[in-house]
Structure 1
Amino acid sequence: MNIGEKVKNLRNERGMTLKQLSEETGLSTGFLSQFERGITTIAVEHLATIADLFKVKINYFFEDESVNEPIVRGYDQPVIHKLNNIIYKQLSRSPKDKMIAPKLIEIMPHENRELPTTYPHQGEEFIYILEGILTLVIEETTYQLYPGDSAHYFSTINHNWDNQTNNVVKFIVVHHPNDY
């Protein structure tokens, strides 16, 4: 996969249009379209801007992805998303072509002790607690899950999870279909 294809994949994964990428980077949509198709090259400083925008290291674009290698080492789990006090790490080498995309979630302690707002989405969800105490809300019921506990539910019902403690909570989450 060339660099332009990797940029296109990142853009599509985040639901971003060429026009939005153009507005964020200051590069024309025509240039970006040609770059994504491998017709033209890009200056390193512009690639660095795109890497920052997508929150990946610039070397991501130069790494050879070994689709045949199914192993992700503990020291090499890419952070795919950070939102407020939550860190999402990818546990699959190539989740884009798979039915599921397991993630390691780390929720840092925070001040807000209100129950999280619940919401539904497509598919089903499985979680397994590794460390800490996770608060899981499904419909109107609140559960406290401890290390070794798991939950499996249809994600089409209102649900959400949070850390309501003063310690880090770590758990594995698997969605089907793949929401990578």
Structure 2
Amino acid sequence: MLGDRLKALRLERGMTLKQLSEVSGLSVGMLSQIENGTADPSLGSLRKLAGVFEAAISSLFTDPDAPLVHVSSPNHRPTLGTTGSEFFYERLTPGRGDLEMLTATIPPGRASSAREWAHPSTECAFVISGELRVEIGEAEYTLTAGESITFDSRQAHRYVNASEADTSIVIAVTPPTP
């Protein structure tokens, strides 16, 4: 779905892969792999592509044919890599553009991004297991299994696993801007 949507946006603007590569800073090979569904781009790459098309990241995943009822099964979910692909988010929801739910297992010492960033949404993170540090502006919150945090994600934020064990989480974002 992402590859099809990216190709459609590129062609709507009359761009070649080479032109998109020049503006986005991503290689022609990577762009081709994304369009063909053989590579999962990092969130950083998605941000660059969304910027080129002056669109929200979520628009890259919007599927006009998304079902009204959607069942998500392990090993059949689209994935989103973090910058540097330190870990992957699995997408639990279809691309209707109203709600995004993701799950991830964050390895020890890893973070959702190199630095905090903001986007116009409301976000909720629920810790399934382990310990999660949530950095929001100057504040830090440490959550353990069973706890959640909800915040206005226009505040710069990121998720960090500062513990020595994996941390499993579920994140809900509305409207979607992963």
| TM-score between the two structures when normalised by the length of structure 1 | 0.62
How far apart are residue 80 of structure 1 and its match?
2.9
Count of residues in correspondence between the two structures: 142
The aligned runs of 1:2-21 (5 Å cut-off) are: 7-11=3-7, 19=15, 21=17
* Counterpart contact for 2:122–2:152, Cα < 8 Å: yes
The aligned runs of 1:6-155 (5 Å cut-off) are: 7-11=3-7, 19=15, 21-22=17-18, 23=21, 24-25=28-29, 50-54=36-40, 67=67, 69-84=69-84, 85-92=86-93, 94-95=94-95, 97-110=96-109, 117-155=115-153
Partner amino acid for 1:51?
G
Taking the aligned partners of 2:34 and 2:125, their CA distance within structure 1 comes to 35
* Counterpart contact for 1:10–1:54, Cα < 8 Å: no
How far apart are residue 120 of structure 1 and its match?
2.1
1:166 matched residue in structure 2: 164
How far apart are residue 66 of structure 1 and its match?
7.5
How far apart are residue 139 of structure 1 and its match?
2.1
How far apart are residue 121 of structure 1 and its match?
1.6
Partner amino acid for 1:90?
R
* Counterpart contact for 2:135–2:141, Cα < 8 Å: yes
Gaps in structure 2 of 5+ consecutive residues: 22-27, 42-64
Taking the aligned partners of 2:73 and 2:81, their CA distance within structure 1 comes to 18
Please list every run of at least 4 consecutive aligned residues from structure 1 whose deviation after the TM superposition is greater than 6 angstroms.
46-49
User: Structure 1 residues 109, 20: CA separation in 2 closer, same or farther (over 3 Å shift)?
Assistant: farther
2:54 matched residue in structure 1: none
RMSD between superposed Cα atoms in Å:
3.6
Gaps in structure 1 of 5+ consecutive residues: 26-45, 56-64
* Counterpart contact for 2:110–2:160, Cα < 8 Å: no
| SS at structure 2 position matched to 1:170 | strand
Taking the aligned partners of 1:10 and 1:154, their CA distance within structure 2 comes to 28
Identity %: 16
| SS at structure 1 position matched to 2:104 | strand
